[in-house]
Structures are given as C-alpha cells and as structure tokens.
Structure 1
Amino acid sequence: MPLADYDELRKIDVRPFCKKRDGLDYLNWATCIDLLRKNGASKVYWEPVPDPMTGSSLRRTDVEFKDKNGNTNRCYETQIKVVIDDNVYYMQTPVLNGANPVKDNSMSQQRVWNSMCRAFVKCVAIHTGLGFDLWLKEEISNEPYIPDTLQKRASPAKIKTIQQLCISHGIDGDAWVAGNGKKWDELTEGEAAKMLNALKQRYGDE
C-alpha cells in the first residue's frame, strides 16, 4: 500500500515512542523510519551530503565571529538527502547543543551525527506530517514573547545593528527581510526584536 497521506500521518501519536531531550520530546531517527514503513512507505533512508569543497559532512561558513567571551568561532551546519519512496528531499540544519550553536572548542563527531539525525526527523515531519506536532510544540515554546505594544517602527539604530550582525555572519539580511514581506524601514520593534533574538540564539551575540 502507498504511504499514508499527510493528515493521516500527523494524527499518529508518536509520543509513546519518544524520549526526553532538553525538556522536549525527541523521536529517534530509526523509530521514525520504522513508523513510516509501518504506514505504507516501501523505501526510507537518509544520507549525508558532503561539503563539495572539503568532502566533509560538516559544513562551515567562511565568516568568523566572536562570542561574548572573545572566542573566535564559525557557524557549522550539516546537510542530508532524504529518500521516501519516489520523493527526494534535502535538509540543512545548524549543529546545535540544545538551543545553542556548537562552537569550535566543543565540536565532535557525535554532535555532527546528532545534527543529521535531527534534520532527518524534522524533514520527515515537514513533508509527511509524521511527528509534526512535536516540532510545532518546540517552535512555539522557543518563540519569544513580543507584546502587542511593540508595533511601532523599529529605530534606525536597531535596524543598523541587525544589518551589521547579518553582514558579520554572512547572512543575506535583505533576503531575510523581504522573505517576511517587509522592507528594512517597515520593520516594527517586535519584528526587529525577533530577528535579534534569532541571531542571539544561533550565534550567541549579545
């Protein structure tokens, strides 16, 4: 039989198969494959996509940044290819330690592996619905509280700070803002606060 559709797979309660990690429910990649196969998939696997420049599973930006302690680091990510029957997906995610980016002095093969496993389970949730509510819960819990009163236009100084941080981390800030249907001078204080919080969570900026 073919793989169940998105709505059916999303209704599956995966919590009995989960373990706790960083206070949230975590679905193991192997269990994820098993559940897909039990619900109609005939072929499910994932594999690393090596960095074309280095051949390594670990990808890094060319831009260095310093944390609040003055340590120099880079942003590290992994990319995987996910195959589910005739469908092929790609997922690239940061290498994280909980909610924090993994820095040079604490990088390990285990953290690279964890990043790819997490990417697989998240990719499956996005495209098939299996386990999607786990990620919905996580994203909501990580969403910073922005009061409704912060709807006035962001100050030029705050916008300049965001632009400088984007440049220092190799981020296309213009594309980020445009992707949210905005222009720089249209950002509200609340939206600017969300952007700054996202940069802090990913790069440790203060």
Structure 2
Amino acid sequence: MTEKTTKEEKKSVYETLSKIDVKQYLKKKMGLDYLSWATAWGLVKSHYPDAQKKITEFDEYIPTKEGWKGTGRKVDYRLTPFGCEVEVTVIIDGQESSSNLYVMDNKNHAVNYKSLNMGAINKAQQRCLVKALANAGLGLDVYAGEDLPSDETETAKKTPTKSAAAQPTQPSKKQKPTKQELMSYPVTFNGTKTNMGILLKHYNNGLSAAVKFADSLQGDEKFVFDSLKAMN
C-alpha cells in the first residue's frame, strides 16, 4: 500500500460515516430524535473494526469548607461549582474526534454537583460518545436538526419545500422581536434541540460548554443571543 493510498483512506473516514443513513435507528425522547450509543458504536465498528474510544481523565477537585481542593486523583469527569462535564475521544483509522458534554437530568438541565451520581455521569459519557462519533461524521446531520445523510441534506437545502417556505420567519434584526420570541428562538446546543432562553441560562451559570458555544455563534443566532443577553 502506497503512502498516497493511505492518506486517501484516512481522508475518507468522514465521507464514509456521513453517508450512513441512521434514520432507521433513531429513537424518540421528549419529542427529540437520538441515536443510542450502542447502535452508533456498532455502526462505526462494522466499518472500522479497529476504532477505539477513550474517556478523558481530569484532576479531581472537591468542594470543602475552605474551597475547592485537589485530591491528587484522576477521575473521568470534571466537577465544577456550576455542574459536571465529560469528554470523549474516538480514534478511527488514526484520526481523533472529540466532544464534551455536561451531565444532565431527564429534562436536559445541567445537574448541580450536589445532585451528581455515577449513573448520571455514565449516561453523559455514553451520550458524549455519540457526539464524538457525530463529529467524525456519523449522524452529524441529526445533531444539526436534520435527519438526512449528507448527500440528501445538500439536496434538501437547495430545494426548500412549500411547508418550509410557509413557516413563520424566525426573529431577525428587522423584526424587532420581543423577549419571548428571542427566548424561544431554536438552537441546537450539545447535540440537543433547545432554545436561546435555555442556552442563556447555562451561559449565565458559567457552564463552559455554553460559554464556548455562545462565543461561536454567528449571524442571526449571534444577534438573537446578544439581544436577549442585553435584556437580562
């Protein structure tokens, strides 16, 4: 096998995974589509048997009366005063894809460190694995609010349907939206469909993933977030 061939195979990982139609494997929870970690990992392993996954370990800090103190141990989650987050990396054909996710309750709200348990942390790690696989190409369109594989998604974007055209437009700079409209503005955060009101709440609570995500917003999403932030 030549060096050129090897490079071409490595570049094809995203293309290979993004063409897998995961619609038939999707399940519903609270009205949202999701792909189970076992199914996602099984699909990847069927194409890349040598694929690996690893959960990031962090220095452990725990709250005490004197403040947060290091224990000298390593744990597979990061505990903070605002909640807890995990990070998972997948290695597929020599390429790494990572994602982080905050530990949440059954309503997708960040769990306070006082309410944490290992079950919630383990579920967050499994969800984070699916997000990391999405970054590598598997089902990424689902996490972008669409349930089509890559090729079909491009066609759908170029040919909007009548129903899509008939939907009310989202808040924009020209519409002078109300606070309620801004709060209900849809956004996909951490692979979950939510709204700007929830994102702002996590942002104000100092959740690092929310802060990083908010800083990356552009266009109308940035305008909506900044406008809502100015009202609070």
Spell out the pairing of 1:21-36 with structure 2 (5 A cutoff): 21-36=29-44
1:57-89, Cα deviation, whole Å (9 max, x unpaired): 22122xx4xxxxxxxxx2210122322121223
CA RMSD across the alignment: 4.2
Indicate yes or no: 2:166 matched with 1:147. Answer: no
Q: Is 1:85 equivalent to 2:93 in the alignment?
A: yes
Q: Distance in 1 between matches of 2:130 and 2:34?
A: 9
Shift in Å, 1:30:
2.2
Aligned position for 1:12: 20
Cα shift readout 1:128-148 (whole Å, capped 9, x = no counterpart): x2111211117xxxxxx8512
Mapping for residues 38-187 of structure 1, pairs under 5 Å: 38-39=46-47, 41-53=48-60, 54-61=73-80, 64=81, 74-97=82-105, 98-127=107-136, 129-137=137-145, 147-149=171-173, 169=206, 179-180=216-217
Q: Is the 8 A contact 1:42 1:85 kept in 2?
A: no
Count of matched residue positions in the alignment of Structure 1 and Structure 2: 167
Structure 2: runs of 5 or more not aligned: 1-5, 61-72, 147-168, 177-201
Kindly state the Cα deviation for residue 112 of structure 1 after the two structures are TM-superposed: 0.6
Deviations 1:97-141 (CA, angstroms, capped at 9, x unpaired):
2331112343221211111111111111112x2111211117xxx
Indicate conservation of the 8 Å contact 1:49/1:57, yes or no.
yes
Return the TM-score normalized by structure 2: 0.55
More strand by share: 2
Aligned AA (2:122):
W
Relative contact order higher in (CA < 8 Å, ≥ 6 apart):
1
**Cα distance in 2 between the residues matched to 1:173 and 1:29:** 23
The code of the aligned residue for 1:12 comes to: I
Distance 1:174 1:16 in 2: 34
Q: Percent identity?
A: 23
Deviation for aligned residue 1:175: 7.8
Secondary structure of the residue aligned to 1:96 is: coil
Per the alignment, in what secondary structure is the counterpart of residue 12 of structure 1? coil
Please give the secondary structure, in 2, of the residue aligned with 1:34: helix
Paired residues of 2:203 and 2:214 also in contact (CA < 8 A): no
Distance 1:108 1:7 in 2: 38
Q: TM-score, normalized by length of structure 1?
A: 0.61
* Distance change (3 Å), C-alpha of 1:166 and 1:134: closer
**Counterparts of 1:173 and 1:24 in 2: how far apart (Å)?**
20
Indicate the SS of the match to 2:145. helix
In 2 relative to 1, CA 193–101 (structure 1 residues): closer, same or farther, beyond 3 Å? farther
